[in-house]
Structure 1
């Protein structure tokens, strides 16, 4: 029987060699097979076809004795090439018959390994972690301005800190994923302590109101900083509902924003939200949400029982009875929001939020007791390449503007040049933003450049300027400067504030 050169190559490979672990592109990959060796051409052919492999160290080790399993593996790979007219079928059939047992054993092993790899991949895909670690520092005189409103300085949670946002996902099935986030603030270059009102007993056991220090360690305790204490801060479930699985629904507690610049909302909420692409809507989406901000607040009043002092009837002796708590709960809201393109270079967003439960409280009043709802609108335009202009507006249907001026509206304008891409080292962006924020057109923010939360302001007006770039893969550096902000800390006492802040985000 006459055999073609491909079968001769197979037999040559069986004669001179053993197989190893790593795929070799050609015989050039084998440092121990010189080009003038009689088997070089055959080995070169087999290596290019993927039939034989090296030992993983750039050697072929042709003098090593082969096992029957190794021979069976070469024959099996050669037979897989039959669609490309690889070899003489009669010879391959004889070799296959000779090593049938070994080839069957190898097949079972490969199938078992494939099954194990698939199961391992499915388990790995079910649980994933990502997030960012931040190093941040800066200067902010607003931390001192706050003393004019509350009689004490705030501790500068957002100014100088190490911060981490760790987010995890646990896949339930192809259309359901449970998610959680953990946030931790670790403050540095901060005062060693701040003074807080407290109560202490004198040597006679009489309670007195005093000022007591609260250290940085205590400020990181769960009861002092519940959202950034290193415990689970958000937990929610993402569902893909409907016959086409295109109703993207979140249920639980998570960070949420409304509008292109999160002007109405940009913070932690509890509730349910669903997002759906409008059929034949030319790229438009609709969102329906039922939610409340998690940023409630409360005050309390101790209630005392009094009895006449037997030693001095003109005086009373007081004993503690209970504490009346006035809880000011954030309102329960229903939101309907629409967004999508208007032409090639324009995008829009418009929505309405109705306050469903603004009287939801215990022995107190809600935040927006005269407010019925809000409208929000955004328009984003790209007039030239690399430039984006965005305007946002929020109007609150409230009577509060009669007393507090323009507290019933927020508006903001932002100009952006280019932008960053974490996968493109050297990419950068510039931005300038002007805001005019009222006191009652805001349903909740956690750290909107710190214009809301460490200073608890009732209104902000002024410019912000920023620069950001990607100095390394998955690393973003951003610097923010607000040279001249006007803030209404108390209702009739505006103050000036400036911010200079820079931070590095390491994404993982």
Structure 2
């Protein structure tokens, strides 16, 4: 290979994503601070990817040998990387292991640049049938939901640490079609999320509109617009601040539900509410996981209307929610999980969920499957928009589910839920089915 060691640094920089965050002091005396490769040399030397020659010099103008390039890649492979960083290092190692004799660094770099934007997504069909106590067959048919979803999730590389990510959803609900023609309420194309994400060693920052990751299973599974920061290794702390949209899927939905429970004729409107939260998560990759969180939703003024005329405007107190959760994996098959949340609301201030799972469906492995059973009590004051499919906010009940992978990247799912409305005690049961085609 007739490439100099300095020119090879451009390719070696991909290793920096799997190592320390800040450039270290440069140990090589013949690379001045204003040299274009100064930061790269310092970083790679600090990571142990490159080494000097015993006299504190770098000798960057010397031709690199095949052995030295292979040694550089081998050291990168030996690092304890995970996720996207590991995939990047594995790809680099595979390329050089196969083509080291006849390809130079420039070719590998061009191939990497051509792959800076990655796409994945899925096509999904979901069927839901809800039956409520006292409801006739015609009403049962009206409550059926047949939803088709097409999702794209691009990820564009900005540099070794930063990516821009997004989620674009296009969906249609054939059960609400009017005479076979989709109306505005039966189909929609929406940019659900878009954010910039910086990944460093034991540190991550996200800016934009993204999914909430603080107690999202029980309390709040909606996206928010703002910023969050996560740091730590085995114990991770997340700080989040931003705004959430009004609607039935957030804290505003609770205020609206409580008003309509007394005055069904009134509707309500409200601007986006301020949101902030802090979460702690323990996961050492072993049997026990644990989490705790505090989240605050400052709702502000809500205007209630009747037939388009303002009925009243109220300032709704901020809702504060504390939550804790834990999971334990007995072996490779059996695991348990539980969570509890408590809010400062007047009604339905508590929510909890617990369950047992067996095995697990893995989309990449044909024939894998998993099953679970759990009980949910989702008081609307604490569980604004939980992640569960058959027991919703304001309801309680039993949930059973099975997932199966008949073919690679095709996941089937069936769930059944039964229980009652917390406020009215009206009994219900729900049948839920889904097929996902992942790409």
Structure 1 length as normaliser, TM-score?
Answer: 0.55
SS of the residue corresponding to residue 217 of structure 2 reads coil
Matched residue, 2:320: 373
Does the aligned pair in 1 maintain the 2:214–2:238 contact within 8 Å?
A: no
The 1:169/1:342 distance shift into structure 2, 3 A limit, reads closer
Matched residue, 1:273: 228
Does the aligned pair in 1 maintain the 2:391–2:397 contact within 8 Å?
A: no
Partner of residue 329 from structure 2, selected from 382, 400, 404: 382
The 1-side partners of 2:141 and 2:434 are apart by: 21
Matched residue, 1:218: 184
The 1:142/1:353 distance shift into structure 2, 3 A limit, reads same
Structure 2, unpaired ranges of 5+: 1-65, 68-101, 254-266, 304-311
Bigger Rg over Cα:
1
Cα deviation, residue 171, structure 1: 1.1
The 2-side partners of 1:393 and 1:256 are apart by: 18
Q: Does 1:164 align with 2:150?
A: yes
Structure 1, unpaired ranges of 5+: 1-79, 82-109, 147-151, 194-212, 222-228, 300-324, 402-406
The 1:339/1:117 distance shift into structure 2, 3 A limit, reads closer
Matched residue, 2:379: 438
Matched residue, 1:395: 342
The 1:450/1:418 distance shift into structure 2, 3 A limit, reads closer
- Per-residue CA shift, 1:190-217, capped at 9, x if unaligned? 2543xxxxxxxxxxxxxxxxxxx99633
How many residues are paired up?
Answer: 314
Report 1:154-233 matches (<5 A): 159-188=145-174, 190-193=175-178, 216-220=182-186, 229-233=188-192
SS of the residue corresponding to residue 265 of structure 1 reads coil
Give the aligned CA root-mean-square deviation in angstroms. Answer: 3.5
Cα deviation, residue 351, structure 1: 1.4
Matched residue, 1:44: none
Cα deviation, residue 364, structure 1: 3.5
Partner of residue 140 from structure 1, selected from 112, 121, 130: 130
Does the aligned pair in 2 maintain the 1:165–1:184 contact within 8 Å?
A: yes
Q: Does 1:331 align with 2:280?
A: no
Does the aligned pair in 2 maintain the 1:268–1:295 contact within 8 Å?
A: no
Report 1:97-496 matches (<5 A): 115=106, 118-124=109-115, 126-141=116-131, 159-188=145-174, 190-193=175-178, 216-220=182-186, 229-240=188-199, 245-259=201-215, 262-277=217-232, 283-296=234-247, 327-329=269-271, 331-341=273-283, 344-355=286-297, 357-359=298-300, 364-365=313-314, 369-398=316-345, 400-401=346-347, 407-445=348-386, 448-449=388-389, 451-452=391-392, 459-482=394-417, 484-488=418-422, 491=423, 493-496=424-427
Does the aligned pair in 1 maintain the 2:358–2:370 contact within 8 Å?
A: yes
The 1-side partners of 2:142 and 2:230 are apart by: 38
Cα deviation, residue 142, structure 1: 5.4
The 2-side partners of 1:372 and 1:220 are apart by: 32
